[in-house]
Every structure is written in structure tokens, then in C-alpha cells.
Chain A
């Protein structure tokens, strides 16, 4: 009875699919394209087109009203001899370096610790270290602006407890870079450590057990097992931090103010781009900055990928 019913339905469905046959596959094809089209339409308008059009704008003198004159590579030539541009490049790299390296290293250690069996209250620690990541960049910049204040900042108060003179964080180049890097670190270390933690949990436990039996210390295990095993994740976080770090904008704008402060100590490339475009209406010049920044990011990601691969395969 049951079997009969089943064959009946199969027959029916066979008939149906034969009847619709080609029609159905075609309809599936069309529906498939329609369903994905919103992404591609929007991405072409606000993703692909702007990136290429930026290149075109950069070859013109172009103001906010749309008046333009073709000037070829003049904007790029001017950039090459523009001290502000070089300063912004230096600042961007310095902040990127100061924030990313310690951040990822700390995140690794944190993840390694949170992955230890004996740790109690893991959920609580995970939650707390992740919390900074949901705070808006603007809020972070304001809070740390208060913490790093010269006269009343709480950090200088702590320094005074150990007998140090107050530091003018906002005024100096290094001070500003440290303050901004601290904001980035505070917001992202927990996030990265949770990502590493997820990767760590996929490492087979017997690897560590075998190493312990062989007498390897925890630190040896960290460098010989943990790091090589989560290499893909390290590459991923390095690249993402690089792309993010090269585009740092909100923190310096809020911490150092317009122009990046008195000696442009907080002027990053994206901040310079923003001010050229939307404060001084030099769309052409700003586009040249954008395009150079784009090339730097691509090159830098490739170099990162190459180096990280090299280091790991050398092991």
C-alpha cells in the first residue's frame, strides 16, 4: 500500500518535471540572476564605479560644483612634493604599526589563555574583552580623549603616582600616535582574540597532549604548535587590520581636530583626503590621494601575505 503510494507520487513528479522540463530550468536560471542582482547593481553604482571614476577625477582639477580641467598627472606630481601628504603617510604607517603589532600579539596570548582548560568563567572573560568592539569609534575617541588629557587626564594622574611628569599627549607626535593606537587596540584586541580562540578550538587536543608528554613547556607549545596551526587566521587578521589601519580616520579627526593638530601630528591619509575633498573642495587632488591610498593598500596586503607565508613556511 505504502510502496504503491510512493511509486504513484514519484510517477506524478516525474511527469510534472517532464512537462515543465526545460521551462523550469530556464525559469530557475532567470530567478537565480534576479535574486542576486540587487547586490551587483548596488555594488556597481557605489563600489566599482566610484573606484574607477576616482582615477578619472584625479587627472583633473575638479571642484565641488563640477567645474573641471584636465591636468594629466599634475595632481600626483604635486602630491609627491607635498609635505602634508608625506606627513600623513608617515603618520598612517606609524599608527598602524603601533596599534597592529602589539594588538595581534596580545590577542594571540589572550586567546591562548582563554583556551586553557583550567580557566573558569570563560564566558564572562569573553564577553568583557569583546565589549569594546561594539562601542562606536566616535565614543571611543571621545573617552580616550578624556583619558589622555594633559592636565586632567586620568592617565597622567596614574603617571604622577609613579612620580612621572604629566605628558602632553595631544601636542606631541609620538603622544598622539600612542593615544590613537591605544584606541584602536582597545577596540580590536578582544575581537581578534575571539577570532583566534575560534581557530584554536579547532586544533586537535592530542597535539598538545603529545607535546606535554615529550616535556614541551607551555611557551614552547605556543610557538611550535599554536602559531603554525592557526596561520590562516593570522594572515586574515593581519590583512584586515592593514586595510582598516590604512583607512584610519575618525580617531585622529576627533582626537586631534581639524587638520590633524598644530603640527599635523594626527593627519592620516584618509583624514587628509577628507579635508582636501570636503573642506577645501579639491576633488581632483583628493582623488589622487584616494587612488594612491588604494594602491598602497593593495601592495601592502600582498606584501603582508607574502611575508606571513614566508615566515610560516620557514618553520
Chain B
């Protein structure tokens, strides 16, 4: 009796899990289904549930409507440069907070953590003014420079360096006469590669998906990132869903592949950040 009730509980649990999983995955599938059918397929009742054969044609429409490759290239340039810059400056600052003795180390670090809670987006108007003073409107610099280092990255690298590198290793380097930067470059960076990889993935993904700030400062189509281009594809007066979802699918695929390849680091990184905070 008791064991039977337990089994029913198990079955219900599994059904619940499977439903949640289906809901999580279905939109990806649906995007591909509509993106590969012709426009009339979505207008049918019942709508299409299996992929069609119009994928290439829809993709061609996407390429005609927006400069897809340019937008992907822009996103790639921005995401890559920001990622390298974040990795460098955040690990350098993280090393300093974790291993170097200077006045106010602890207080400044607490300040860094506190800034994570400040909704920086609300300063968007002065930020826009600064960027236009610099003459960076419609320049990719406008989205690269403000993101070049962030509090989360500093925090993340500091925690990792503090726990992964023994003080003796740093002291040994100093005795050998290494400068602080040499110690950082030759001792610290090689030993925290996993943390750097994870932070790199998270940063790349976040920058790739960013929308509001690029929308404000990148107005010309030649500097649009893929998110802005996607938004333009989805214009209000003409809705060819087959084409729109095809473009959305094409834009989501790169990040999806990166995620599936490195899902372990991704999930570990995004959750550990929260858990440690």
C-alpha cells in the first residue's frame, strides 16, 4: 500500500518534470518549425507542427531585409573585445583584492559588491550625453568601453584567486624578484584558467544579448548589433512570421551551440556567482 502510493508520487513528479522540460524546449523547436515553413503555414488552423522545406528561402528573405552578416559581425566584435577586456581587468583587480595588501582593501571590495545592486541602466541619459560628447554615437566603442570591466567579474575573480592560489606562491615570486604584474601574468593567470574560461563565457553571452544600451547609442544600420537587427526585422506593419522566426532562429543558434558545448561551465558559473554572493 505504502510503496504503491510512493510510486504514484514518483510518476507525478516525473510528469511534472517532463512538462516543464517540454515548455522549456518547445519555443526553440517552434521557432524552427515556423522558420522553415512558408508564411501561409502559420496562417493555417491548426498551425504547422513539423518543420517545412522553406528554410533557405526564408533565410534569403532575412538576408534581404537586414544586413544579417554585418550585424552578427558587429555583435561578434563587441562581445569578443568586451570579453577580453573584462577578463584582463577583472582578474587583475581580483588578484589585487585577493592577494595584495593595501589600505582600504576590504572596504573597497565591499563597495564593489554593493555596486552590483545599483541599477546602472537608470543613469542612461547622462551616459548617453557622455558618449555623444566623446563623439561615439554610431561607434562600436560606445558599447565596448563602458562594459570593459564590471563588478561581477571583479568579485568572481577575487573569490576564485583567494581560494585557489596559496600566499606562499606569491611570496616565492616576490623573493625571486618578480614585479607584481609579472606575478599576476606568470603565476596567477595560468592557475585560474577555469575561472577565466567561465567568466569569459558568461560575459560573451551577456554582451551578445544586450539590447537597451546598443539601441540608444547605435542608430545607424552599419553598426547595429544582432539584437537591434532582429528587432528591426520584427517591424510592426508587416509581419512575415516565417521570415522573422527564421532570423530569430539564425541569431539564437550561435549562442545555443556555445551553451551546449560548455553547459557545465555556464551553469556552474552563473549559479556559483549567486551562491557566493
When chains A and B are docked, how far (Å) is the Cα of A145 from the Cα of B30? 12
A1-36 near B? 1/0 per residue, CB < 8 Å:
000000000000100110000001101110111011
Q: Which secondary structure characterizes the binding site on chain B?
A: helix
Asked whether B105 is an interface residue with its Cβ less than 8 Å from the other chain, the reply is yes
Question: A32-B96, A32-B105, A146-B34 are contacts. A128–B122 as well, Cβ < 8 Å?
Answer: no
Task: Return the contact of A136 from the options B95, B127, B252, B266 (Cβ within 8 A).
Answer: B252
Q: Which of B20-28, B51-59, B60-68 contacts A (4 or more CB under 8 A)?
A: B20-28
B79-114 near A? 1/0 per residue, CB < 8 Å:
000000000011011011100111101001000100
How many of B's residues come within 8 Å of A, CB to CB? 94
- Are B46 and A152 in contact, CB atoms less than 8 angstroms apart? no
- Are A51 and B123 in contact, CB atoms less than 8 angstroms apart? yes
Question: A31-B180, A135-B252, A139-B248 are contacts. A194–B17 as well, Cβ < 8 Å?
Answer: no
- Are A287 and B245 in contact, CB atoms less than 8 angstroms apart? no
Interface residues of A in 193-228 (CB under 8 A from B): 194-195, 197-199, 218
Asked whether B69 is an interface residue with its Cβ less than 8 Å from the other chain, the reply is no
Asked whether B275 is an interface residue with its Cβ less than 8 Å from the other chain, the reply is yes
- Are A47 and B126 in contact, CB atoms less than 8 angstroms apart? no
When chains A and B are docked, how far (Å) is the Cα of A185 from the Cα of B267? 18
Interface size class of chain A, counting residues whose CB lies under 8 Å from the partner chain: 35 or more
Which residues of the partner chain B approach A27 to less than 8 Å between Cβ atoms?
180
Which residues of the partner chain B approach A263 to less than 8 Å between Cβ atoms?
none
Task: Return the contact of B267 from the options A126, A160, A246, A301 (Cβ within 8 A).
Answer: A126
Which residues of the partner chain B approach A143 to less than 8 Å between Cβ atoms?
27, 30-31, 245, 248
- Chain A residues in contact with chain B, CB under 8 A? 13, 16-17, 24-25, 27-29, 31-33, 35-36, 38-40, 42-43, 45-47, 49-51, 53-54, 57, 66, 110, 113-114, 116, 118-119, 125-140, 142-147, 149, 151-152, 154, 157, 160, 186, 189-191, 194-195, 197-199, 218, 233, 236-237, 239-240, 243, 246-247, 249-250, 253-254, 257-258, 270, 273-274, 277-278, 283, 286-287, 290-291, 293-294, 297, 301
